[in-house]
Structure 1
Amino acid sequence: MLVTISLQIFRLESDMTIPEEIGSATSLVKFDCSSNHIKELPSSLGKCSDLSDLKVSNNLITSLPEDLTNCLKLTKLDVEGNKLTALSENLFASCTMLTELNASKNLLSGIPENIGCLTRLIRLDLHQNRISSIPPSISGCSSLAEFYMGNNALSILTEELGALSRLGTLDLHSNQLKEYPVGTCKLSLSVLDLSNNSLTGLPAELGKMTTLRKILLSGNPLRTLRSSLVSGPTPALLRYLRSRLSEAEDSGAQTPAKEEVVTMAARLSLTSKELSLEGMGLSVVPSEAWESGEIIKLNLSKNSIQELPVELSSCSSLQTLVLSSNNIKDWPVAILKSLPNLSCLKLDSNPLRQIPSDGFQAISMIQILDISGNATSLPENPAFSNLPHLKELYLRRMQLREVPSEIMSLCQLQILGLSQNSLQSIPEGFKNLTSLTELDLSDNNISTLPPELGLLEPSLQVLRLDGNPLRSIRRPILDRGTKAVLKYLKDKLPEQ
């Protein structure tokens, strides 16, 4: 009989059944019973309240026990290669901590309507099932970076897919799609697989997806595109599609005066506590931005603002301050010091001068920081150690030649964006970033990766490497995604 234990891994031998007594193992964290002939899981598994990683792939399971909804700490669920015909809505409603779900190679006919409950989901693999539609609530999966729906029965895509701003890989191969909707052309994809569908054309708006590194279109009856474009390089196809876009996209409809829009937004902020004045052509911050001392989020991005008024210091409740794409030159130390609840600061794409030595001390409680596109802003040895609570750090387009050493001290860091720099190598110290779930190294000069990066495999779920001259890893491995790359690196580590 099993008793309460602190097992990290529990593995069954072939042809065994799982005893109900497993429910006594309340400290069980990881349970792997893959590649057996198991037909059902015991309901007592729901008593394992610490369970975070459940792998039951390649068995004969036809349904998951309802009591699994009690495993509220579940972050990874792998049920690939079973006989499942449905996934429970109750499971999705309860297990909202899920970051990775693999239910590929089953007999699923649909996706639960409440899939949007999984706001932390990063990787969703449902390929090789019988799914005919994707619920509109997929838009709620705001963290989704990889979505695999190949080999299903999709004939139409929901426009709500276009809301997945973090999605980098979308696999739709071998379905029955007749068109790719315009709404999904808003995605910032790196890889889009539309091969083996029923597409006869592509929307011209797809040409705006300039982040695309690879689009696969073979096996479609595309009549409106030359075969050389279909099989040729992706940038050439995107340029052609952009050329087909109408020059006159602007309608002549009259728009409200700027002052009227600002006043209306300020009025709404009294109840929502959020004020957005994005893209208003503002050169100064309007007084409406600080009149409500209760405001928690202020978005002033895409304007021409050069400096912040001292009155903004009165917004002591402010948690999120978005100043992206303005003309701010000086780090607003005094104002930032007066915002004790600030947890998110975005100053990307400004002509920011060098951040003063005490600049980061002014935001020591910050959790999200984006200073991308400010190449001259970082001092020689930026004091990132002054930001111990940082969870997301974005340093894109910073002309970095090496990774700032103090980043290695950020033990709570979950997302690190270093794309579009001049990095040539990655330090072994990355292995210390054990909380990292997403690492973007795309568009650099990296030729090799340290094997130690493979030690992040339990937590790191998204690794973007496109646009690097990687010579040490074969292209088939890179194409298989993050898991394959991390396993390859881990296997290269010398045996202890």
Structure 2
Amino acid sequence: MDRLLKAARASGSLNLSNRSLRDVPVEVYRSLDAVGEGENWWEAVELQKLILAHNNIEVLKEDLRNLPSLTVLNVSHNKLTDLPAAIGQLSMLKLLDVSHNSIAVIPEEIGSVASLVKFDCSSNQIKELPCSLGRCSALSELKASNNFIASLPEDLTNCSKLAKLDVEGNKLTALSDNLVASWTMLTELNASKNLLSGMPESIGCLSRLIRLDLHQNRISSIPPSINGCSSLAEFYMGNNALSVLPEEIGALSRLGTLDLHSNQLKEFPVGACKLCLSVLDLSNNSLTGLPAELGKMTTLRKLLLAGNPLRTLRSSLVSGPTAALLRYLRSRLSEAEEAKTPAKEEIVTKAARLSLTSKELSLEGMGLSVVPPEVWESGEIIKVNLSRNSIQELPDELSSCLSLQTLILSRNNIKDWPVAVLKSLSNLICLKLDNNPLRQIPSDGLQAISMLQILDLSGNAASLPENPSFSSLPHLKELYLRRTQLREVPSEIMSLSQLQILALSQNSLQSIPEGLKSLTSLTELDLSDNNISALPPELGLLEPSLQVLRLDGNPLRSIRRTILDKGTKAVLKYLRDKLPDQ
């Protein structure tokens, strides 16, 4: 113990976890007072990090006030029944973990810890959180799962920096509108296994929300305002009382996983067929059929339908491969529905007229073979959507659209990289050229669009040079390279420090470089449908930021199926635990 304390006085960090301690050694509370022979008192530093996890400690003394420089205090997995009021005197504390104890009350004094960023009090005996917690305005992560909390204090509206909230396994009957509306920075909300009867209308205020887990409650409806959750990637609503889904759910363009199992749904709305899901769980509902429009959801890899009284579909289709069922549904789409298109010229003229005020021009799916002059004649245009046409090249006149920020050219017949036009579009931040027969991009082709934040080259098998110069795009936040015949992850991707979304699905990747750990801003990583058999443990270091990791369709042998089925957090924790001790 003396050796550990001496080292702590030099480093400011003391780890006494897994030592079967019944009490906190007295010397810990007076670390600096115990400077021993051979030590220089002026070189000793105050204790900043104290780990006491996995012991049998029953009491934390008020002497805790003698450690005012603590920034990290972890006393999880002990036998504490309360916390000392002195906790409020730790003014520099940023991380407090008291999980897995028998604590019944969190002292009001915690509100004095103004610097608190992460607080974990999960798996205790807590019936309510103190109102004073609302004074911890720097709080970004709050875990209070597996307690007996019946309501959350309204004072938490002051915690406007809250990014992650986990209140799973409590007695909550409602999430108040005011609270949810105030948490606009929230990226992850887990309120599963409670007694919630509804979702607040203000859920639509959470435009940054990536993961929403409300499974195993009593929720009977989803409000139309859900369409405001524009970043949502995973939505878990299994084991509730839903009888209908709002059409507005179809607006969630980034949603990849939608779990609706064990509800009372009688139909799946046509509006929701616009989603680009990879997993849809509709098992154990009351569905008698499926809309033919669901067949258009070609991104869907797993559709679960067991336990429904489906009468309009053969059982072999229901239990067979998802792709076969989707093909069957597409075949039922009426030709008339697909052929309904007004006169082309009329639509182009009307769209151009609207763009004068909106500054956006959409000519999607118009059967155009050339870019109409209305595009560059529309004044200060900022967004042009020409997707799903038959355009083969971009005219030089497009270079005059100097204010253009978004250019969508998906699903056309463009063969050559439009380098001359792109060089003139200095304000371009979004370029989508996916699903074109694009030839190889010139080695300096990306340098012309250095301000780009979103780039989609998916479905262009021959477009990428051997060493694509992605480092020319330092501001890139989203990169989509699906179906580009990649055999390895381009090394320059590792330099994209601002990258938030990286989609590499449906390629021929066999391994993932450990260098991906440098992408610390990454929130979504799609590696599905490759030939990956193992993942580097270093990928687990992305856990604080990475919210969505898609791995289905790979021959992964190093991770058990039970872990993969639990989702992103479980996989990242498994990988992190595989890292050698630092």
Does TM, scored on the shorter chain, surpass 0.5? yes
Question: Structure 2 unaligned runs (5+)?
Answer: 1-87
Given the two structures, how large is their TM-score scaled by the length of structure 2? Answer: 0.81
Taking a change above 3 Å as real, the CA distance of residues 418 and 259 of structure 1, as seen in their structure-2 partners, is: same
Is 2:444 the counterpart of 1:358?
Answer: yes
Equivalent residues, number = 494
Retained in 2: the 8 A contact 1:293–1:314?
no
Question: 1: CA distance between counterparts of 2:490 and 2:327?
Answer: 36
Once the two structures are superposed, the pairs formed by residues 195-206 of structure 1 within 5 Å of their partners are 195-206=283-294
Which residue is 1:310 aligned to? 396
CA drift at 1:420: 1.0
Question: 2: CA distance between counterparts of 1:76 and 1:294?
Answer: 40
Taking a change above 3 Å as real, the CA distance of residues 225 and 322 of structure 1, as seen in their structure-2 partners, is: closer
Question: 1: CA distance between counterparts of 2:391 and 2:336?
Answer: 29
CA drift at 1:129: 0.6
Pick which of 240-249 and 410-419 moved more. 240-249
Is 2:208 the counterpart of 1:137?
Answer: no
CA drift at 1:357: 2.2
Taking a change above 3 Å as real, the CA distance of residues 355 and 241 of structure 1, as seen in their structure-2 partners, is: closer
Which residue is 2:23 aligned to? none
Is 2:372 the counterpart of 1:372?
Answer: no
Matched residue type, 2:490 = P
Pick which of 485-494 and 361-370 moved more. 485-494
Which one scores higher on RCO, CA 8 angstroms, separation ≥ 6? Answer: 1
Matched residue type, 1:99 = T
Given the two structures, how large is their TM-score scaled by the length of structure 1? Answer: 0.95
Determine helix, strand or coil for the equivalent of 1:18: coil
Pick which of 446-455 and 177-186 moved more. 177-186
Question: 2: CA distance between counterparts of 1:78 and 1:262?
Answer: 49
Question: 2: CA distance between counterparts of 1:229 and 1:334?
Answer: 50
Question: 2: CA distance between counterparts of 1:257 and 1:182?
Answer: 26
CA drift at 1:46: 2.1
Matched residue type, 2:565 = D
Question: 2: CA distance between counterparts of 1:228 and 1:315?
Answer: 54
Retained in 2: the 8 A contact 1:5–1:27?
yes
Question: 2: CA distance between counterparts of 1:124 and 1:23?
Answer: 28
CA drift at 1:16: 4.5
CA drift at 1:190: 1.8
Match of 1:229 among 279, 299, 317: 317
Is 2:89 the counterpart of 1:2?
Answer: yes
Question: Structure 1 unaligned runs (5+)?
Answer: none
Which residue is 1:85 aligned to? 173
Matched residue type, 2:201 = E
Is 2:514 the counterpart of 1:428?
Answer: yes
CA drift at 1:65: 1.6
Pick which of 39-48 and 102-111 moved more. 39-48
Matched residue type, 2:106 = I
Provide Cα deviations, 1:67-99, integer angstroms capped at 9, x if missing partner. Answer: 212222211111111111111212222211111
Taking a change above 3 Å as real, the CA distance of residues 240 and 259 of structure 1, as seen in their structure-2 partners, is: closer
The structure with the larger Rg is 2
Q: How big is the alpha-carbon RMSD for the aligned residues of Structure 1 and Structure 2? A: 1.9
Matched residue type, 1:212 = L
Match of 1:395 among 476, 481, 484: 481
Taking a change above 3 Å as real, the CA distance of residues 174 and 188 of structure 1, as seen in their structure-2 partners, is: same
Pick which of 450-459 and 180-189 moved more. 180-189
Is 2:142 the counterpart of 1:54?
Answer: yes
Pick which of 413-422 and 216-225 moved more. 216-225
Determine helix, strand or coil for the equivalent of 1:114: helix
Is 2:316 the counterpart of 1:220?
Answer: no
Question: 1: CA distance between counterparts of 2:565 and 2:265?
Answer: 23
Question: 1: CA distance between counterparts of 2:231 and 2:265?
Answer: 25
Is 2:410 the counterpart of 1:324?
Answer: yes
CA drift at 1:47: 2.3
Once the two structures are superposed, the pairs formed by residues 55-454 of structure 1 within 5 Å of their partners are 55-250=143-338, 255-454=341-540
Taking a change above 3 Å as real, the CA distance of residues 240 and 311 of structure 1, as seen in their structure-2 partners, is: closer
Percent identity, aligned pairs only, is 84
Retained in 1: the 8 A contact 2:104–2:127?
no
Which residue is 1:29 aligned to? 117
Determine helix, strand or coil for the equivalent of 1:215: strand
Question: 1: CA distance between counterparts of 2:406 and 2:135?
Answer: 39
CA drift at 1:6: 4.5
Taking a change above 3 Å as real, the CA distance of residues 455 and 249 of structure 1, as seen in their structure-2 partners, is: same
Provide Cα deviations, 1:451-496, integer angstroms capped at 9, x if missing partner. Answer: 1111111111111112111122222222221112112212222222
Question: 2: CA distance between counterparts of 1:29 and 1:138?
Answer: 28
Match of 1:461 among 547, 566, 574: 547
Question: 2: CA distance between counterparts of 1:238 and 1:323?
Answer: 26
Taking a change above 3 Å as real, the CA distance of residues 492 and 228 of structure 1, as seen in their structure-2 partners, is: same
Taking a change above 3 Å as real, the CA distance of residues 266 and 427 of structure 1, as seen in their structure-2 partners, is: same
Taking a change above 3 Å as real, the CA distance of residues 495 and 82 of structure 1, as seen in their structure-2 partners, is: same
